[in-house]
Amino acid sequence: MMWTTTVLLLLLPHLLSSTDTASSTNVNQSESDGEDFSDDPGKVQKALGGVKRWDTCSIPCDITVKLLRDEKHSICGQLQQSLLTFGRSTRKLIRDVMEEQQRALDILSTQVAELMTKVQTLSSEVQRSNTEMYSMKPVQSHGRDCSDIKDSLVSVVPKIPSGIYIIHPENSDSSFEVFCEMDYMGGGWTVMQRRNDGLTDFKRPWADYIDGFGNLAGEHWLGLRKVFHIVNQKDTRFQIHVALVSQDDITSYASYDDFRLDNETQFFSIHLGRYAGSAGDAFRGYDQEQNQDTAPFSASDVDNDGCNPSCSMDSRVVESCSTQHNHTGWWFNQCGLANLNGSPEDAERHQGQRTRILWDTWRQNGVPHTIKSVTMKVRRIATNN
């Protein structure tokens, strides 16, 4: 096949040149077709002058013309035959190449199909082992809360580190992560709120205050549902501790010996026991109107703040304590003297708003401290039950 093609390709210029000759002969012939050569041999000689010079017409001119015509027909026939052969060979070559490519494609397709099957088998294998792993090894909680973790580790670990632990409070549907402070005042504290650098946005709607937000190792709000589960466990009592640091690095605290929340249908109303500390009882304030104990939780989109339709504060009419306090959530009551979800950044009292962390009973020379960080944490109180 290749040899035939090569020979044809080598012959082609020659054949085409023959064609040219034949054509030019043909043209000369055609040009002469309209003339009658039989009467005048000189005309023939003149007409054939471009093809071949004959000094004398030794062969009769009509025979010469016939011979030339026959030669032309023969060359044309050979040329046509060669072209036909060439065409057939080319078609066969193309067919062979295509068949070969098709065979290669078929082999590739088979290999791809085999690979796909292998990948699918592996995927299902991985999925199966994952399912088995999760069903066999559920996430292990470290305890019911940070106090429980501390109590169970204290006898086996010389120093329990502070950090993120997984807890599963009694009667809770699932485990979740919390930050446990194991160094502060005896340890065992479950952190429910931290504010120290202003990097987390506390301007949040109700749903976020319910579920929690932020970074457990940094600023965060654990979430009312989680805190509810922690402090409402059977046969337990919890204390709450508020640790404050001022701009001048003065520390202070407020502690309540009992702390619990009502359930979600009652908007997680807060219940506080006896106060102890150095920062004053801002939760209760100085009179009943400022008392946030037993107040339901409010957010910018859920208004339980006791200003209905409005309150008077600093000679201003306030309809929403959350809006007045930088759109944060809190147990506001007309709005009160405490809001630890305010911003630790420099005061920006625009339009009389209270944007800062607020614990208004902590004062120096009658002036409230500027608070730069706060942590709210809860711990079990030992009970005899």
Cβ nearer to Ca ion, comparing 219 with 303? 303
Rg of the Cα atoms in the chain: 50
Answer for the pair 357, 371: CB distance below 8 angstroms, yes or no: yes
The residue (of 295 and 307) whose beta carbon lies closer to Ca ion is 307
Kindly tell me which residue out of 261, 307, 338, 376 binds Ca ion, with binding defined by CB under 5 A: 307
C-beta closer to Ca ion: residue 13 or 309: 309
Q: Which is nearer to Ca ion, 38 or 310 (CB)?
A: 310
From 22-30, 216-224, 261-269, 299-307, give the range in contact with Ca ion by CB under 5 A: 299-307
Question: What is the C-alpha separation between 343 and 340, in angstroms, rounded?
Answer: 8
* 80-88, 166-174, 201-209, 300-308 -> range binding Ca ion (CB under 5 A): 300-308
Output the residue with the shortest Cβ distance to Ca ion: 307
Closest approach of Ca ion to the CB of residue 183, in Å? 41
Contacts of 185 (CB under 8 A, 6+ apart): 241
Structure tokens at 123: 């995927």
Distances (CA, A) of 269 to 159, 264, 298, 331: 36, 9, 10, 7
CB of 306 to Ca ion, least distance (A): 7
The yes or no reply on residue 293 touching Ca ion (CB under 5 A) is no
Determine, following the binding rule CB under 5 A, whether residue 303 of this chain makes contact with Ca ion.
Answer: yes
CA-to-CA distance for 198 and 149, rounded, in angstroms? 30
Minimum gap (Å) between residue 265 Cβ and Ca ion: 20
**How many residues interact with Ca ion (rule CB under 5 A)?**
3
Q: Which stretch binds Ca ion (CB under 5 A): 196-204, 265-273, 301-309, 362-370?
A: 301-309
| Interatomic CA distance for residues 338 and 331, integer angstroms | 9
Short-list 308, 307, 273, CA closest to 378: 273
Q: State which of residues 238, 305, 341, 362 lies at the interface with Ca ion (CB under 5 A).
A: 305
Strand intervals (E) in the chain: 163-167, 176-181, 189-195, 213-214, 220-221, 237-246, 251-256, 259-261, 270-272, 275-277, 311-313, 316-318, 338-339, 358-359, 363-364, 367-368, 371-381
Q: Which is nearer to Ca ion, 25 or 290 (CB)?
A: 290
Quick one: 148 or 303, whose CB is closer to Ca ion?
Answer: 303
Question: Per rule CB under 5 A, is residue 299 in the interface with Ca ion?
Answer: no
Smallest separation, CB 356 to Ca ion (Å): 21
Smallest gap from Cβ 383 to Ca ion, in A, equals: 38
Residues in the site for Ca ion, rule: CB under 5 A? 303, 305, 307
